Structure 1
Amino acid sequence: MEICLGAPLAEIGLYIKSLELSTEEQYNPAVVVDEENTNVEQNHIAVLTYYLLKHGVSMEFYHEISMLFKDLPRSYKLKQFKKGIKVPTISKTPGPYDGAQFDFMDIFQLHAADEIKQHRLYYEENQSFLVKVSGDGAQYSRTSNFCLLSFSILRDDSTLSCYEVHTIAVLKTSESYEALRDGFGDAIASINSLADDGEITLDGITYSVEVVCCADYKFLLNLMGMKAASSQHSCIWCEVKDVDRHKMNVRIHEQPKKRTLASIKRNARTQSLGCKNAPLLELELDHIVPDELHLLLRVMDMLIQALVDTAVAQDHYEAHDRGQSSINAEDGPKPCEEYKRVWGAFLCLGT
């Protein structure tokens, strides 16, 4: 049966010419046959290696499976074949947490080289990479929590798709400072090294590299070693208290209220002004970006709450006018005035 499945395999120099399918219950690894290659076992090894890499299965896992199914090729043969393929290796994350990781520099160089091939004219003109590091924690079941760290390469001339987000590491644990420090320690160290160097050389050409971090606020607080969002000084970029944060006349972008990476490190040593631990990422705060989606969702929460409160208050005032409520109409601001004040404050942010 002739099929067209050669495109994904071509990435590692393999091509499927025919596929043999069977409905027999017993396991038979010999499913791919190369009509021009008499070494059938080598063909099996190539295809097995491809699928292990495609689905992120480690060689350690395959070794255990091959010990159970004796008809599978030995794991050392797959390792020998893999040496001739330029792919990043998967290893266990450091620390006490279950997890897996790629070497960040390996996968960055791999995807950066691919970016240059796909958008050669763009990189010939700019010769620079803008790398966005992202992360998040998620609950997958009642007892299972995962933390993910990923990166993507941004360009000015396009939007980002899900296929351009590349996983660096995954941890099976809840989101916390200790988990990020221990489990993502190798990856974060490589990210800091790349950001500090500010350049990378590919095929003899040196490209400048700028690293930014964009994530939800809880993840950013953990990365920067700060306390929870409910603390008095929970803002990453300024030292304004929570009770003064809504005041539009506070100039947070000026000293002494403005934070810097050095000030966070200094406050972490004394555990003051919302800083609890040393920051993990060595990035200046203008390269730490909150996720736009979560910002807009919170803004809409506040605006909708103001709208609902105004509607409820208006009902009470109308009931008072009809003599059906004991509310004094002279007490407190008018509902429409409160409604305009809250919405007007948000509109002033853009002016």
Structure 2
Amino acid sequence: MSSTVETCVTSHGLTPMTLTAKTSDGKLLSIPFSESSATITELTQPAPTGSRAKALFLLDRFAVSDEFYHELAQIFPEMPRLYQIKGLRKDMNSEIEIFSLPQSYVGRYMKVKNIVEKTLGETLEKLGVQASPPTVTIKFSGDENHTFASVKGPEEYEFLKACFEPVWRELQELIEYPFLCINGTQIQLDIVFGSDYKNYTFSRPDKHLGSRHPPLLQLEPSHYVLDELHLLLRVSDVLVRNVIHLADHLDQQSGLRAGRARHYIPCLEKLVQSCGVPFKISP
């Protein structure tokens, strides 16, 4: 069982140290995960479970519901009570400014400048930097650790342009005036964007080579970080789609409408499957 638990925990980027279990007669056992020690010891007192803040972090980190935590706390009375967790969550939320998106869009956003100031200050303090550096590079990407905006809807240009209008405006202001005051020192920001922002930040004047729409942010191409894998996947998506459309077109031309069975689509499916990739085209 311990190996199963260890696999589950490590899949979330954590390193398990011990597992505390309770026997049917109420004894607490500590099971180590270390390869150098395989001794199971009996605990005379309940192992410390951490503060409310740690419990709240785990709930948010692993998307654990309040109902599940309530049932778990009933089994382990030494854990913080659910009402304490809810109270701490409410207090923390009250300290964060969260704004609604315009119109009727289902989503929220936080001030970009405030997030950057807070994150940058905490990072410099964590690294033990005594004097703030004159220039700091800040990267904005769609898959990073600090989320400042979210919305329910399609990943389409017009939709994102409208719903995130205040976010784009704040980002543009930060691009045009890339300076922040951290610990009394003015820091210049070197702002770059990841490849998943390319459809919204980068375009070319040539109508044949540029994007369909004008960029939502005015940013120099030198501040755009290329991701070769991301671009390769984009290109491969287009190529696969074109091959599927071609096979379907050939089937149509060969008399599919007259009641004949498909030929090119099944051949394409078998060809891709022969590479060891599950592949099936829905009719």
The alignment's TM-score, normalised by the length of structure 2, stands at 0.51
Residues 22 and 6 (structure 1), Cα distance of their counterparts in 2 relative to 1, 3 Å cut? closer
Q: What code does the residue aligned with 2:148 have? A: I
Contact 2:141 2:193 in 1 (8 A): yes
Residues 215 and 88 (structure 1), Cα distance of their counterparts in 2 relative to 1, 3 Å cut? farther
Q: What code does the residue aligned with 1:293 have? A: L
Out of 170, 190, 195, the position equivalent to 1:210 is: 190
**Cα distance in 1, alignment partners of residues 154 and 168 from structure 2:** 18
Q: What code does the residue aligned with 2:149 have? A: A
Out of 103, 109, 117, the position equivalent to 2:125 is: 117
**Cα distance in 1, alignment partners of residues 127 and 175 from structure 2:** 23
Contact 1:88 1:106 in 2 (8 A): no
**Cα distance in 2, alignment partners of residues 298 and 177 from structure 1:** 16
Following superposition, the deviation at residue 95 of structure 1 comes to 3.6
Following superposition, the deviation at residue 99 of structure 1 comes to 1.4
Q: What code does the residue aligned with 1:48 have? A: K
Out of 128, 131, 140, the position equivalent to 2:138 is: 131
2:73 aligned partner: 21
SS at match of 2:194: strand
Residues 2 and 274 (structure 1), Cα distance of their counterparts in 2 relative to 1, 3 Å cut? closer
Percent identity for Structure 1 against Structure 2: 22
SS at match of 1:124: coil
1:3 aligned partner: 48
Following superposition, the deviation at residue 178 of structure 1 comes to 1.7
Contact 1:97 1:179 in 2 (8 A): no
Q: What code does the residue aligned with 1:88 have? A: I
Following superposition, the deviation at residue 91 of structure 1 comes to 2.9
Following superposition, the deviation at residue 301 of structure 1 comes to 9.3
2:161 aligned partner: 181
Following superposition, the deviation at residue 290 of structure 1 comes to 3.4
SS at match of 1:220: helix
Q: What code does the residue aligned with 1:213 have? A: F
**Cα distance in 2, alignment partners of residues 32 and 241 from structure 1:** 61
Following superposition, the deviation at residue 44 of structure 1 comes to 4.5
What runs of 5+ residues in structure 1 fail to find an aligned partner? 13-18, 24-30, 34-42, 53-77, 136-149, 153-164, 225-235, 243-272, 303-351
1:48 aligned partner: 86
1:166 aligned partner: 146
Within 5 A, what are the aligned runs for 1:158-307?
A: 165-216=145-196, 219-224=197-202, 236-237=203-204, 239=206, 241=208, 276-277=213-214, 279-297=215-233
Within 5 A, what are the aligned runs for 1:142-153?
A: none
**Cα distance in 2, alignment partners of residues 7 and 44 from structure 1:** 10
Residues 183 and 10 (structure 1), Cα distance of their counterparts in 2 relative to 1, 3 Å cut? same
SS at match of 1:166: coil
Deviations 1:127-164 (A, max 9, x none): 322111123xxxxxxxxxxxxxx6x6xxxxxxxxxxxx
Following superposition, the deviation at residue 208 of structure 1 comes to 0.9
Aligned alpha-carbon RMSD (Å): 4.2
Q: What code does the residue aligned with 1:99 have? A: G
2:101 aligned partner: 93
2:23 aligned partner: none
Q: What code does the residue aligned with 2:86 have? A: L
SS at match of 2:136: strand
**Cα distance in 1, alignment partners of residues 56 and 182 from structure 2:** 19
1:108 aligned partner: 116
Deviations 1:254-273 (A, max 9, x none): xxxxxxxxxxxxxxxxxxx7
Contact 2:140 2:193 in 1 (8 A): yes
Contact 1:201 1:207 in 2 (8 A): yes
Following superposition, the deviation at residue 182 of structure 1 comes to 1.7
Out of 22, 28, 32, the position equivalent to 2:80 is: 32
Residues 110 and 9 (structure 1), Cα distance of their counterparts in 2 relative to 1, 3 Å cut? farther
SS at match of 2:171: helix
Contact 2:109 2:149 in 1 (8 A): yes
Deviations 1:169-219 (A, max 9, x none): 111111112222122222222211112112100121111111111123xx5
SS at match of 1:120: coil
Contact 1:176 1:222 in 2 (8 A): no
Contact 2:136 2:190 in 1 (8 A): yes
Q: How many residues are paired up? A: 181
